[in-house]
């Protein structure tokens, strides 16, 4: 998930979005939103406004970057045809045709709708061709290379003295931070700008946007001091975990698979195997497993697990 974003496979969908922008510009100004969904009493419960389709298309386009990242893990270094790579082109093409049809009803030439159909077919064919000729990354090594932290441990040992004050910061950045930041911004804009949307939907979108932006502002940030460990969401988010160093019984750097062992990324609880019952705070595939004296276990995501493990061992006097 931390690899480069596969922009090339998403260019056909981007071309459809640009064409949608052109259709919306040609048809401007658009009529006021009209109801296209009604309850049993004939009251409108859903409103249609063609320009709002653009935001939905961009949101869908961004979501499929994350889905492609998941697919790359499923492949495991072996090339397999990804049917999800065609789904965003298909859905955005359908949105484009709907916008073009609304434009024709608003007085635009019928040729606009015909061009929308043609563009959708071309984009799907191009997406299929790009996927067939896509190259996969080399298979990941069976075991991760561990960092040599000898000098780091030596520095911590020198600091480990009675009443000595020191702190260590560890960070795990979210994958594709820019894309997810844009996604969070769209959630917030949608919660504010969708016309006549229910209050519950607005609150859900706003909460989702704030949550995504919180993680994108800094991912998971762990602070270790001689007294405690504090795990925080982003730069300004709330503390997610707080442990006194005297409560920590064991610190190890495990090998794990986020999908297999925890069902994905984020804040998860392991249900099977060696990680059953473990609470994971993880955005990638590296972290430190902490076991408390009461038997509770936590997986703390970090981009430098050996350093975080050394800092925790120093804090609890195990170096």
Beta bridge pairs of residue 287: 301
Q: Would 91 be classed as within a structural domain?
A: yes
2 inside domain: no
**Residue 127 near residue 12 (C-beta atoms within 8 A):** yes
Give bridge partners of residue 291 from the DSSP assignment. 250, 297
Determine the structural domain holding residue 193 and report its residue range: 174-217
Better pLDDT: 22 or 130: 22
Mean pLDDT, residues 173-191: 69
First to last CA, the chain: 33
Q: Which of 84, 223, 103 is nearest to 166 (CA)?
A: 223
pLDDT cut 70: percent of the chain above it? 71
DSSP 112: H
Which pair of tokens denotes residue 153?
Answer: 């441990």
Indicate if the pLDDT at residue 183 is higher than 80.
no
Q: What per-residue confidence (pLDDT) applies to 196?
A: 60
Q: Is 276 in the same domain as 206?
A: no
CATH of the domain at 20: 1.20.140
As given in the structure block, the two tokens for residue 85 are 């790579």
pLDDT, tens digit, 9 for 90 and up, residues 243-263: 999 999 999 999 988 878 888
Residue 286 domain-assigned? Answer: yes
Domain end call among 193, 217, 241 = 217
Residue 89, pLDDT above cutoff 80:
yes
Q: Is residue 145 part of a domain?
A: no
Shared domain check, 244 and 131: no
Q: Per-residue confidence at 29, pLDDT binned at 50, 70, 90?
A: confident
Residue 275 lies in a domain: yes
User: Residue 291: what pLDDT?
Assistant: 95
The answer on 294 and 253 residing in a single domain is yes
- Per-residue pLDDT, 55: 83
- The enclosing domain of 256 has a CATH number of 2.30.29
Q: Are residues 182 and 265 in the same domain?
A: no
CA distance 3 to 6: 9
Give the domain-ending residue among 88, 117, 140.
140
The reply to whether 169 and 181 lie within a common domain is no
| Average pLDDT of the residues of the chain | 77
58 and 129 in a common domain: yes
pLDDT digits (tens, 9 = 90+) for 90-123: 889 988 998 888 888 888 888 888 999 999 888 8
pLDDT digits (tens, 9 = 90+) for 224-235: 988 899 998 877
Same domain, yes or no, for 196 and 241?
Answer: no
Do residue 305 and residue 281 come from a single domain? yes
Q: Is residue 146 part of a domain?
A: no
State whether 97 and 167 are in the same domain. no
- Residue 41 scores a pLDDT above 50: yes
Round to whole Å and give the CA distance between 215 and 235: 8
For residue 27, is pLDDT > 90? no
- Rounded Cα distance, 300 and 262, in Å: 13
Which of 112, 107, 84 lies closest to 97 in space, CA to CA?
112
Same domain, 260 and 116: no
The answer to whether residues 16 and 133 belong to one domain is yes
Give a yes or no: residue 293 inside a domain. Answer: yes
Query: Tokens for 205?
Result: 């979108």
pLDDT for the residue numbered 142: 43
Q: Is the peptide bond before 29 cis (omega within 30 degrees of 0)?
A: yes
50-85 residue pLDDT tens:
888 888 888 888 877 767 766 665 555 555 666 667
Number of domains composing the chain: 3
DSSP 78: S
- State whether 45 and 136 are in the same domain: yes
pTM: 0.54
User: Of 184, 217, 250, which closes a domain?
Assistant: 217
What is the pairing mode between strands 279-282 and 297-301? Answer: parallel
Residue 5 confidence class, pLDDT cut points 50, 70, 90: very low
Distance between CA atoms of residues 162 and 169, nearest Å: 21
Minimum mean pLDDT range among 38-47, 135-144, 181-190, 204-213: 135-144
Residue 31: pLDDT band with limits 50, 70, 90:
confident
Report if residue 22 sits inside a domain: yes
């Amino acid at each position: 998930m931390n690899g480069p974003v596969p922009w090339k496979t998403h260019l056909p969908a981007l071309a459809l979005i640009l064409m949608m922008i052109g259709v919306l510009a040609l048809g401007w100004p658009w009529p006021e939103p009209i109801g296209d969904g009604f309850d049993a009493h004939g009251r409108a419960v859903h409103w249609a406004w063609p320009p709002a389709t653009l935001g939905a298309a961009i949101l869908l386009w961004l979501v499929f970057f994350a889905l492609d990242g998941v697919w790359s893990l499923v492949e495991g270094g072996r090339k397999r045809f990804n049917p999800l790579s065609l789904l965003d082109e298909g859905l955005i093409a359908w949105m484009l045709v709907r916008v073009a049809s609304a434009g024709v009803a608003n007085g635009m030439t019928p040729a606009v709708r015909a061009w929308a159909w043609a563009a959708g077919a071309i984009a799907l064919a191009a997406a299929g061709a790009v996927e067939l000729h896509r190259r996969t990354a080399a298979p990941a090594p069976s075991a991760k290379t561990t960092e040599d932290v000898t000098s780091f441990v030596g520095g911590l040992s020198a600091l480990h003295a009675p009443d000595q004050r020191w702190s260590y910061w560890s960070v795990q950045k979210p994958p594709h931070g820019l894309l997810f930041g844009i996604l969070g911004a769209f959630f917030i804009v949608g919660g504010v700008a969708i016309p006549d949307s229910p209050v519950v939907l607005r609150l859900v979108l706003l909460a989702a946007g704030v949550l995504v932006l919180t993680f994108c502002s800094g991912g998971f940030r762990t602070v270790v001091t001689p007294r405690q460990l504090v795990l925080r969401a982003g730069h300004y988010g709330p503390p997610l975990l707080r442990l006194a160093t005297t409560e920590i019984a064991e610190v190890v750097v495990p090998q794990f698979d986020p999908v297999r062992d925890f069902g994905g990324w984020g804040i998860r609880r392991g249900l099977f195997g060696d990680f059953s019952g473990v609470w994971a705070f993880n955005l990638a595939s590296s972290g430190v497993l902490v076991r408390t004296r009461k038997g509770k276990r936590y997986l703390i995501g970090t981009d430098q697990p050996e350093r975080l493990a050394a800092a925790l061992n120093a804090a609890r006097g195990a170096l």
